[in-house]
A and B are shown apart, each in its own frame.
Chain A
Amino acid sequence: MTAAPGTDDAIARRTDEIISGLIGLEGPLLLIFHALQAEYGHVPAAALPRIAERLNISRAEVHGVMSFYHDFRSHPAAAHVVKLCRAEACQSLGADQLAERAQEKLGTGFHGTSADGKVTLEAVYCLGLCACGPAAMVDGKVVGRVDEARLDQILKEVRA
C-alpha cells in the first residue's frame, strides 16, 4: 500500500527516490534540498531524517546546512512570492520607499505572508538588474524599473 501524498511516509519515500537520483554526484546535499524545495515548495521536516541516514551524516548537520542558506524554507510560502531587491543600486533609485509601501499594502514585514494569505514578501540582495532598478522578482519572473505604480499593479495581480 502506498501512503497518501503529503504524509510523512510518502515524503520519506519520495525523498529516498530523489536521493537515489543524486547520490552519485559529488557533494549532493544542496542538490537534494533544491530538488525537495522544487517539489514541495519547502524542505519538509519529514525528509531530514532520511537525508541524514542516506548521506551518513547527523541530523544536526542536515539541519545546520539547511538553515545556513536563506533559500531553503522549512514551511511553505504563499501561492505567490514577491521578492524586492534591497541592495545599494536599487536603494539609489528608491527601493527603500518601495519596500515600505509593499509592507504597508500587504500588512506584513519581509519574510512574512500577507493577511489574506496570498503573498509572501521577501527581501533579496541584488538580482543583477542594477542598471534598471529598482528590481523585483515575482513568482520567479524578473521585473525592472519598479516604481510605485508598477508595484501596485504587481501586488494587485498576485492578489487577484
Chain B
Amino acid sequence: MKVYVPRDAAARALGADEVAAAVLREAKARGLDVTLVRNGSRGMVWLEPLVEVETGGKRTGFGPVTAADVAGVLDGTSKKALGPVEELPFFKGQTRLTFARVGLIDPLSLAEYQAHGGLEGLRKALGLTGEAVVKEVTDSGLRGRGGAGFPTGIKWETVRKAPGPQKYVVCNADEGDSGTFADRMLMEGDPFCLIEGMAISGIAVEASKGYIYIRSEYPDAIEVMSAACDIARKEGVLGASVLGSGKAFDMEVRVGAGAYVCGEETSLLNSLEGKRGIVRAKPPLPALQGLFGKPTVVNNVISIASVPVVMAKGAAFYKDFGLGRSRGTIPLQIAGNVKYGGLYETAFGLTLGEIVEKIGGGTHSGRPVKAVQVGGPLGAYLPVAQFDTPFGYEEFDAKGALIGHAGLVVFDDSADMRKMARFAMEFCAIESCGKCTPCRIGAVRGVETIDRIGRGDVVAIPLLTDLCETMKDGSLCALGGFTPFPVMSALRHFPEDFTANAKEAAE
C-alpha cells in the first residue's frame, strides 16, 4: 500500500514528520509493504496532518492524524477516516487549475508530474513563436497574482519586444503578506509546475536565465524548489536545449534575508544584485531595465504557475472562469481566526461572506466575526457589512479595498481595531526601505498618533487622517502608499475602537 503524509510546512508544523516516522515504524511492526510518499498539502489545514492510504488505486483520507493514530490508520480502524479527499465539501467545491496536482502527486517525481498533465504546456509553447505564446497568455486574461493585478501577457510582450541578447525571468517568491501561503504550498507541493511556467516565459520572451527569489522564512520551499531544479536540469527540462528544442533556459534559486520590502519588484531586483533592497523609481520599468539593467519579467509564483494550464488547455478555457475583468481562478488563502482554514482555489466572484462564513465556517473561536483583512498588511479591514463584496480586483477596489495576493485574515469580536491600525503603522516603520520620508518618518509618527488616540486624545484623529493622506501621496511604493488602507479602514468601520478611552475620560 501507498501512504501519503504531506511534507508541506503547515503539515510539518502540526506533526507530519512524527506521523511519517510512525507510519514506517508501524508498517515494519506489521510486516506491511508500505511505500511512504511525502506529498504536498491538499490545503485543508485544519485536517493536517492529513494522511491518505492508497490501496487498489483508491485513496482514503484520515485527519488530523497524530503518531498515536497511525496504527488505526494502517489497520483501517481509525475513527479519523474521512473517505476520499476529493469528496470532502471543502475540496469538492473547488476548481483546481493551478493547484491541480498539489497534494496529489509526489512533488519531486517528474514522471508523476507528466502523468498528470505536466509539461504539456511547455511542449505546446515550444512549437509556437514567442509572439503566439504571449498572445495566449494575454488572451487568457491572467493578471498578476502578486498584488497589483497587471496583465501578465502585456508585461511579457514588453520584455519580448525589448532588444538585447540578455534578458531575465524573475519569479517573486517573497510572499511576505500575513495570511498568505499559496506560493509556499505550490513550491512545496508542485515545484515542476513553477519550473514549467518559468521555462515557458523564458522561451516566449527569449530570456535564457531565470531566478526564483524565495524568502528565507520558507526553508521547506527552498529545499524542494532547489531539488526540483536539479532534477529538471538532469532530465533536460532546463538547460542548453529545453526538452531537446535547441532553446536554452536555466534557472537558480536565490534566498532572501528577511526584508518584507524585498517583495516589491524593484527592491527584489536590487537584492538579487547583491545590494540593499531599496525601491527603485519607475520608470524605467523592470520589463525594459530590470535585473542588472536588462529587460526582465518579474512575476509572482502563482502568475507563473498558472501559465502551464493556460498553455495546455488554451486561453479560452482559462478565461471562461471568473467575473468581470478578473479572469480565471484564484487560490484563496483563508487564515487567522477561522474554523476551516486553508487554500481554496476557485473562480473569481464568490462574495467575501460566502468565503468566510460558508467555506471558512466562521471563526475558530466560535465568536462572531468582526473584520477580515484581505490582501496582507497593506490591505483593508472589511467589516461584516461589506460581506456582499464579490471577490474581484475592481469589485474590491470600489470598496476602498484590495485583494492583493488573496489572503484573508479573519478576526473575531475580541479584536481591537485601533491596535491593528497601530500594528500596520509599526510594521511599515520596521520594514520601510527608508527612501521616502512620508513612509520612513510618517509611519513612526503614525504609531505615536495612534497611541495618543489610545490615551483618549481624540483630537489626534484628524491628524492621523492627514498623515495617511501624506503617506498615500508621497510614497514611492505601496509599502508607504498603502499602509493607510488598513489604518483608515479600521478607523472608518470601527470608530468606536478609537474613541473607547475618550468616552471613559469624559465620564
Nearest A residue (CB) for B275? A65
Measured in the bound complex, the distance between the Cα atoms of B259 and A96 in whole Å is: 21
Q: Quick check: B336 and A145 within 8 Å, CB to CB?
A: no
Q: Does A112 contact B (CB under 8 A)?
A: no
With a cutoff of 8 Å between Cβ atoms, the chain A residues found around residue B411 in the complex are 92
Q: Does B423 contact A (CB under 8 A)?
A: yes
Measured in the bound complex, the distance between the Cα atoms of B254 and A125 in whole Å is: 20
Given contacts A64-B276, A70-B259, A124-B217, contact A130 B13 (CB under 8 A): no
Measured in the bound complex, the distance between the Cα atoms of B217 and A88 in whole Å is: 16
Which size bracket describes the interface of A in this complex?
35 or more
With a cutoff of 8 Å between Cβ atoms, the chain B residues found around residue A34 in the complex are 216, 255, 257
Q: Does A102 contact B (CB under 8 A)?
A: no
Picked from A25, A27, A129, the residue with its CB within 8 Å of the CB of B9 is: A129
Measured in the bound complex, the distance between the Cα atoms of B256 and A70 in whole Å is: 10
Given contacts A92-B412, A93-B336, A125-B427, contact A130 B259 (CB under 8 A): no
Given contacts A70-B257, A72-B257, contact A129 B10 (CB under 8 A): yes
Q: Does A78 contact B (CB under 8 A)?
A: no
With a cutoff of 8 Å between Cβ atoms, the chain A residues found around residue B258 in the complex are 69-71, 124
B side interface size, CB within 8 A: 62
Q: Give the residues from 122 to 160 in chain A that come closer than 8 angstroms, CB to CB, to chain B.
A: 124-133, 135, 137, 140-145
Q: Quick check: A145 and B14 within 8 Å, CB to CB?
A: yes
Q: Does B164 contact A (CB under 8 A)?
A: no
Q: Quick check: B257 and A130 within 8 Å, CB to CB?
A: no
Distance to closest chain A CB from B381 (angstroms): 10
Measured in the bound complex, the distance between the Cα atoms of B469 and A26 in whole Å is: 40
Distance to closest chain A CB from B418 (angstroms): 13
Q: Quick check: A131 and B338 within 8 Å, CB to CB?
A: yes
Distance to closest chain B CB from A34 (angstroms): 6
Q: Does A91 contact B (CB under 8 A)?
A: yes
Given contacts A27-B272, A34-B257, contact A71 B218 (CB under 8 A): no
Q: Quick check: B276 and A65 within 8 Å, CB to CB?
A: yes
With a cutoff of 8 Å between Cβ atoms, the chain A residues found around residue B423 in the complex are 88, 91
Give the one of A29, A34, A72, A126 with max B CB within 10 A.
Answer: A126
With a cutoff of 8 Å between Cβ atoms, the chain B residues found around residue A68 in the complex are 259, 276-278
Q: Quick check: B274 and A131 within 8 Å, CB to CB?
A: no
Q: Does A115 contact B (CB under 8 A)?
A: no
Picked from A65, A88, A91, A142, the residue with its CB within 8 Å of the CB of B13 is: A142
Measured in the bound complex, the distance between the Cα atoms of B415 and A33 in whole Å is: 40
Q: Quick check: A27 and B409 within 8 Å, CB to CB?
A: no
Q: Does A119 contact B (CB under 8 A)?
A: no
Q: Quick check: A144 and B13 within 8 Å, CB to CB?
A: yes
Measured in the bound complex, the distance between the Cα atoms of B220 and A144 in whole Å is: 15
Nearest A residue (CB) for B41? A131
Give the one of A28, A55, A130, A144 with max B CB within 10 A.
Answer: A130
Q: Quick check: A30 and B257 within 8 Å, CB to CB?
A: yes
With a cutoff of 8 Å between Cβ atoms, the chain A residues found around residue B260 in the complex are 125
Picked from B178, B252, B256, B341, the residue with its CB within 8 Å of the CB of A88 is: B178
With a cutoff of 8 Å between Cβ atoms, the chain A residues found around residue B181 in the complex are 128-131
Distance to closest chain B CB from A158 (angstroms): 17
Q: Does A89 contact B (CB under 8 A)?
A: yes
Q: Does A87 contact B (CB under 8 A)?
A: yes
Q: Name 17 interchain pairs, CB-CB below 8 A, sorted by A.
A: A26-B272, A27-B292, A30-B254, A31-B274, A68-B276, A69-B256, A69-B258, A71-B216, A88-B409, A89-B179, A89-B335, A125-B260, A126-B176, A130-B181, A130-B409, A133-B335, A143-B13
